[in-house]
A and B are shown apart, each in its own frame.
Chain A
């Protein structure tokens, strides 16, 4: 290690000490940024502090939850972990997570898909978990083809990394095929049965990754995930290494058996709902299994899991239940709608759409969301539109057949939901930049009223 990287680490740590110790701020980005400014390769030096292995988690939806579950499971098994838990998922965030003076057994790093190309060559992780690929922030990321190219390149620059990816997602398998051809070891996970859920709108991946023919499906689990095969060239869902069977999906819980081939399967049960969570939990369980965490330890982590990060976060404000969830792209919002409609309580719905840079400036994707599913539902009592693009959302809802008033504050939405006596729960669905202020306001109200 040279003087330059030592200086970089010292500077980064000093920034962390000031931010965290003196100013009591979150130090998720700046220490890494400072260290990288002095030594752009600082992560490649920091990786020697990680003793047992490292995992990078990427994919359009579910990164933060999966990363946190893996890190928490490793800690629960007695291992020490570096982790960018708060979702600062570009190279500076990864560097910040690795900066502490001490060493650790594992590094678990959430990575933005396009940041893999910066993180993997330096970190050379044991595993890259690729959860799924959906259309997201086209103005920033470009088309999915480009995102796939970047991940393939990142893996080529990190030859010892094993790719653990979703075998049910043709877009992930497109990446896996190319990476495997270039020498990457590939493991896959997936759901082993038809869940019998109504199919949602599938904006992507109707066509074969190899030959361009239309894919056929024995069944879909959600979006483009499922038992796919190409009728012409043989591109198809692989035999998965890690499989979920006996899947039960509710709006407040999921349960399944996670099979790892030959060995005893794990019974996995979590107190939060949604079919996409089955995949996230299966990915986390697979990594835990690979890292020799036990089944009961993993289950205990799920029992205690309460990240309080706005993902399916529940509040009770003056006896009135509120559910907050992140929905930042069409697949995410469609899944949110499915989850919400599986809750039988009469509900008010408040959707918040911002267009800050970290949301994506382009909100055209609202027209790919199946808001039509909210029409003619007796349990959907009221829909409200919020965020900087509330007017666009209102127009989208109007053409779906829903008259949605514009409401700019979550407080006001809550008042309207309560005044509308039929609704007994408020769902707040928001994209990224509105999540934190909305969560903060709901927490403030909960404290005040509790």
Chain B
């Protein structure tokens, strides 16, 4: 069916925002399109490039070290409007770890409050200790619980009209207290599940792809894939952490 359909992925600053194998997400998006006979075009945005979000179907922002994230934030603030229009137009955006913090109004670096992109109504302050460990999240975007790893000093607080990505079943999530993890706003997912989020959460990958295809072609239907290995990896960690 519908071969020749194309998803254009914009990968922001892969050389700066790749602290935890974040580029694995891009590989997963590409393969899951190719395995279905669909096309995937990945454009990397580097320092000094214009962010052409209007030409993209799916934008990915990874996580970087403090220093790298600061550089990126300044670069992106100058192009905020381009990204805001994309989000407002139903564009699909995935941001993990530090990238998630950039989506909000502000976050803390050192002892300084840094202005964020205000793409989503949320902000991040800081707490102690760092929240580090495996995490399991129940979410409406994935038939399986989302499993992964988090490592953040920030505590993220959602505005009234922003849904969390899901409910924490094991681990810390946004602030270690609310039981909420990540954000879900229009077609934007932000999450502290860092680095390679998509490989063992194929439901999240397909949610993103379906939304991108739907926005561009009017139909987000995806052929099912054989996800035996992905689901085995998901289940192994889910059982280890939840006991079921």
Contact residues of A with B, CB < 8 Å? 138-139, 143-145, 203, 206-207, 212, 214, 361-368, 391-392, 394-396, 398-399
Contact = CB atoms under 8 A, between A and B. Distances in A.
A366 B67 CA distance: 23
Interface residues of B, number: 32
Nearest to A404: B229
B194 interface: yes
Contact of B28 (A363, A391, A399): A399
A392 B149 CA distance: 13
B136 to A, nearest CB: 14
Given A361-B149, A366-B21, A391-B236, A145 B66 contact: yes
Given A207-B68, A212-B67, 19 more contacts: A139-B133, A206-B15, A214-B47, A361-B133, A362-B195, A364-B24, A364-B149, A365-B21, A366-B21, A367-B23, A367-B24, A367-B27, A367-B195, A391-B229, A391-B232, A392-B233, A395-B199, A395-B200, A395-B230
A366 B233 CA distance: 14
Interface string B52-82: 0000000000000111100100000000000
Nearest to A385: B229
A363 B66 CA distance: 21
A138 B229 contact: no
A143 B19 contact: yes
B142 interface: no
Contact of A399 (B15, B31, B194): B31
A363 B194 CA distance: 11
Contacts of B15: 206, 214
B132 interface: yes
A145 B69 CA distance: 13
B132 A139 contact: yes
Contacts of B194: 364
B71 A212 contact: yes
A394 B65 CA distance: 28
8 contacts: A139-B151, A144-B65, A361-B133, A366-B24, A366-B196, A394-B229, A395-B229, A399-B27
A368 B67 CA distance: 20
Contacts of A399: 24, 27-28, 31, 199
Nearest to B147: A392
B20 interface: yes
B187 interface: no
A394 B227 CA distance: 12
B151 A367 contact: no
Contacts of B200: 391-392, 395
Given A144-B65, A145-B66, A367 B199 contact: yes
Contacts of A394: 229, 232-233
A362 B27 contact: no
B18 interface: yes
Contacts of A206: 15
Interface string B177-206: 000000000000000001110011000000
Interface string B120-154: 00000000000011100000000000000101000
Contact of B21 (A144, A214, A367, A391): A367
* Chain A to chain B: the 6 pairs with minimum beta-carbon distance, closest first: A367-B21, A367-B24, A364-B195, A391-B233, A364-B20, A143-B65
- Interface residue SS majority, chain A: helix
Given A143-B65, A391-B232, A398-B229, A362 B196 contact: no
B20 A362 contact: yes
Contacts of B28: 399
Nearest to B233: A391
Contacts of A214: 15, 47
Contacts of A391: 200, 229, 232-233, 236
A138 B233 contact: no
A332 to B, nearest CB: 15
B114 to A, nearest CB: 16
Contacts of A143: 19, 65-66
Contacts of B47: 214
Interface in B94-131: none
B200 to A, nearest CB: 6
A203 B21 CA distance: 9
Interface in B197-241: 199-200, 229-230, 232-233, 236
A398 B233 CA distance: 12
B113 to A, nearest CB: 20
Contacts of A396: 24, 199
Contacts of A368: 18, 21, 23
A364 B21 contact: yes
Contacts of A363: 149
A362 B151 contact: yes
Contacts of B65: 143-145
Contact of B196 (A139, A144, A212, A367): A367
Contacts of B20: 138, 362, 364-365
A395 B233 contact: yes
Which of A138, A206, A367 is most buried by chain B, counting CB atoms within 10 A of its CB? A367
Nearest to A363: B149
A366 B68 CA distance: 21
A312 to B, nearest CB: 26
Interface in B1-25: 15, 18-24
Nearest to B150: A362
